[in-house]
């Protein structure tokens, strides 16, 4: 929807046209008008020119009209950047109190300048205390190694008289700037650091917001397009490759994040929860899913196994499928990879009663499950903390019936490799304590699982009984 763009360039063209028109009139006119009819026509023509002139001027004087705040914006600052509440027009404010992210808010005559990675704020006052700010718009502030890779933006005060023409002007629509760099490329990080914080930061604008993406990636935009269009009505902007100047009256730089894959209602306008986020997903995928072949309604509860094939693979997955079918489930095995369309995964999980998977990024898809369904996370040795923190706790907040299935040493491939007396088996904590690298290199990258099906049948039967009740109650 481009009708909100106001192109100053158009104004320029108009003025050129007017000048040509006037000169044309000058050569032809001045006492040479012959009839009343011509006179009337010329009056009409002149009025038309005046209108053009007026219109072209009013286009230019938009800069004055621009020196007013965005009207009708909800008071969102206290939720996004509390330190910047009540920020006055013509200022930049950064709230750096958050552990996970910094957020800056700018109000005034804001203009992008991508070649210098800058956002300019034009002001007339010679206020010397107006110091520039720098910010990396990514939500892992505490993790210096990844933050080093994220592009920094300069937020700079500029003298109003600098000539920096607006190519695209948004009058009443704020902008949100964020990076799709960092760990983007892993579905957990994409939701945790990108999509959910984007919801938290922008939901209160009711889609009347422009997203400006720093370190824009085409595949990311295609993958998340459905969701993005539920959060913003406006075209996305690829900050780094745009050479046009975008102008706004209000901008938020950086995203607000609450916790792992979570939305904290007490920190949002209107007490939004992760279920409100899930409703966004449902609306986002509905048009696409409606167009897919509908799955037949099932009389049996449906169980989806999220299958991995590199490390942390369930080596006896076929037997697990047999067992689940024996118990009474309809079973579907999903192998999501980077190219799997999210709408298809959503369709599958939105119609399932139980999801099972081994701890890992693909567990992020629990967000696609309906509340009151069952999520069984298989937890390999040495991954308890990560499994509970990143997926177990957030799943409970989404009102899923979460079951963490901690494997016994005998179910781990590390057991065969090292034997029961090795500290890797006996005392995983002595390694995981030493840092994430140990967890990663030993327990995440080098471990497979062979489920003890007798043991696993207990949570599976529980999940079945529960699902059966839910299915029957419908």
Ligand X SMILES: *[C@@H]1O[C@H](CO)[C@@H](O)[C@H](O)[C@H]1NC(C)=O
Would you tell me which residues interact with ligand X (CB under 6 A)?
Answer: 91, 125, 127, 129-130, 243, 270-271, 282, 285-286, 289, 309-311, 313, 335, 337, 347, 350, 413, 446, 448
Q: Report the relative pairing of strands 103-113 and 118-123 from DSSP bridges.
A: antiparallel
Nearest-approach distance from CB 468 to ligand X, in angstroms:
17
What CA–CA distance (Å, rounded) separates 90 from 176?
17
Residue nearer to ligand X on the CB measure, 179 or 307: 307
State in angstroms the smallest separation of the CB of 120 from ligand X.
16
* Rg, C-alpha atoms of the chain: 29
Neighbours of 271 (CB within 10 A): 11
CB nearer ligand X, residue 141 or residue 249: 249
- Taking the least distance from each CB to ligand X, the nearer of 150 and 407 is 407
Q: What count of other Cβ atoms lies within 10 Å of the Cβ of residue 432?
A: 20
What is the smallest separation between the CB atom of 197 and ligand X, expressed in angstroms?
20
Nearer to ligand X, 161 or 474 (CB): 474
Contacts with 440 (C-beta within 8 Å, 6 or more apart), sequence order: none
Q: Which one, 113 or 446, has the nearer CB to ligand X?
A: 446
Helix, coil or strand: residue 70? coil
Smallest separation (angstroms) from ligand X to the CB of 105: 13
Smallest gap from Cβ 161 to ligand X, in A, equals: 18
Pairwise CA distance, residues 420 & 435, whole Å: 23
CA pair distance 406, 296, nearest whole angstrom? 34
| Residue 122, beta-bridge partner list | 109, 158
Question: Minimal distance in Å, beta carbon 295 to ligand X?
Answer: 10
CB closer to ligand X, 139 vs 413: 413
CB of 407 to ligand X, least distance (A): 14
Question: For residues 193 and 250, which CB has a smaller minimum distance to ligand X in the complex?
Answer: 250
In the complex with ligand X, the residue whose CB is nearer, 377 or 448, is 448
The alpha-helical segments, DSSP class H, found in 29-143 are 36-60, 62-65, 77-80
Distances (CA, A) of 34 to 21, 25, 31, 39, 306: 20, 14, 8, 8, 86
Q: Which is nearer to ligand X, 35 or 243 (CB)?
A: 243
Asked whether the beta carbons of 401 and 443 are under 8 A apart, the reply is no
Minimum separation from the CB atom of position 448 to ligand X (A) = 4
Q: How far is the CB of 326 from ligand X (least distance, A)?
A: 24
Helix axes 317-327, 453-472, angle to 10 degrees: 40
Burial 361-394 (b: 16+ CB within 10 A, else e): bbbbbbbbbbeebbbbbbbbbbbbebbbebbbeb
């Amino acid at each position: 929807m481009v009708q909100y763009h106001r192109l100053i360039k158009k104004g320029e063209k108009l003025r050129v046209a007017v000048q040509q028109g006037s000169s044309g009139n000058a050569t032809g006119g001045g006492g040479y008008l012959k009839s009343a009819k011509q006179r009337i026509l010329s009056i009409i023509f002149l009025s038309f020119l005046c209108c053009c002139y007026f219109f072209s001027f009013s286009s230019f004087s938009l800069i004055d009209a621009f020196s007013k705040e965005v009207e009708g914006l909800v008071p969102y600052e206290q939720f996004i950047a509390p330190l910047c509440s009540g920020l006055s027009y013509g200022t930049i404010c950064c709230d750096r109190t958050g552990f996970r992210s910094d957020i800056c808010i700018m109000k005034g005559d804001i203009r992008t300048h991508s070649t210098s990675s800058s956002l300019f704020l034009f002001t007339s006052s010679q206020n010397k205390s107006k110091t520039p700010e720098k910010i990396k718009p990514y939500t892992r502030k505490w993790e210096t190694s990844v933050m080093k890779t994220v592009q920094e933006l300069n937020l700079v005060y500029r003298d109003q008289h600098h000539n920096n023409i607006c190519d695209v002007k948004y009058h009443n629509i704020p902008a949100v700037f964020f990076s799709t760099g960092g760990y983007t490329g892993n579905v957990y990080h994409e939701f945790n650091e990108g999509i959910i914080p984007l919801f938290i930061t922008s939901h209160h604008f009711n889609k009347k917001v422009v997203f400006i993406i720093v370190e824009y990636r085409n595949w990311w935009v295609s993958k998340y397009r459905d969701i993005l269009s539920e959060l913003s009505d406006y075209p996305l902007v690829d900050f780094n490759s745009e050479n046009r100047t975008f102008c706004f009256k209000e901008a938020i730089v950086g995203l607000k994040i609450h916790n792992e894959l979570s939305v904290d209602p007490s920190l949002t306008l209107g007490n939004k929860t992760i279920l409100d986020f899930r409703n966004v997903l449902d609306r986002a995928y509905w048009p696409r899913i409606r167009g897919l072949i509908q799955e037949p309604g099932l009389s049996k509860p449906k169980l989806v196994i999220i299958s991995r094939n590199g490390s942390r693979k369930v080596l006896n997955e076929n037997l697990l499928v047999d067992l689940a079918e024996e118990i009474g489930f309809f079973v579907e095995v999903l192998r999501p990879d980077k190219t799997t369309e999210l709408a298809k995964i959503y369709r599958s999980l939105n119609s399932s009663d139980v999801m099972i998977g081994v701890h890992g990024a693909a567990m992020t898809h629990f967000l696609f499950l309906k509340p009151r369904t069952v999520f069984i996370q298989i937890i390999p040795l040495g991954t308890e903390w990560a499994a509970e923190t990143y997926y177990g706790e957030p799943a409970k907040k989404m009102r899923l019936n979460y079951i963490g299935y901690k494997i016994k040493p005998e179910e781990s491939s590390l057991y065969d490799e090292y034997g029961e007396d090795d500290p890797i088996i006996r005392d995983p904590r002595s390694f995981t304590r030493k840092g994430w690298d140990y967890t990663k290199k030993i327990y995440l990258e080098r471990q497979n699982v062979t489920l003890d099906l007798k043991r696993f049948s207990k949570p599976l039967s529980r999940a079945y009984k529960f699902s059966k009740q839910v299915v029957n109650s419908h």
